[in-house]
Amino acid sequence: MSDHSHIPVAAHEPPYYAAVFTSVRRDTDAGYGETADRMEELVKDIPGYLGMDHARTPGGLAITVGYFRDEDALKEWGAHTEHRSAQRRGRDEWYERYTLHIAKVERSHGFERADG
């Protein structure tokens, strides 16, 4: 989750799952960027992973939404060894607080302005 821009994920064919991770980080960032980038690369290898969106407010609230085709994909990502290690490090070092919401998406649509 480096500070580079992410283009929002297009709407997917429902049903699918959204993992909504909201967090507020502590003042220490040692190793955070590298770990976040590594997690972004690893999750792409999970069968059923559809993509993610990121947003951060100037006040420090960060929101990451990961999209997964089914519960099996979510469970595989949740149990991934490196991801579990990053979660522990996040609790120990990086996060002041966080919340994870898992939701089944039953409707989804999008809009994109055409150039010109």
60 vs 64: which has the higher pLDDT: 64
Q: Does the pLDDT at position 1 exceed 70?
A: no
| pTM summary value | 0.85
Q: Does the pLDDT at position 6 exceed 90?
A: no
Q: What was the pLDDT predicted at 28?
A: 80
Q: SS3 for 91?
A: helix
Whole-number Cα distances in Å, 82 to 5, 29, 50, 76, 107: 24, 18, 20, 12, 32
Question: How much of the chain, in percent, has pLDDT values that exceed 90?
Answer: 72
Q: What was the pLDDT predicted at 115?
A: 83
Cβ contact 20:106 at 8 Å: no
User: pLDDT for 62-72, tens place per residue?
Assistant: 999 999 999 99
Dihedral angle at the C-alpha atoms of 94, 98, 104, 108, nearest 10 degrees? Answer: -80
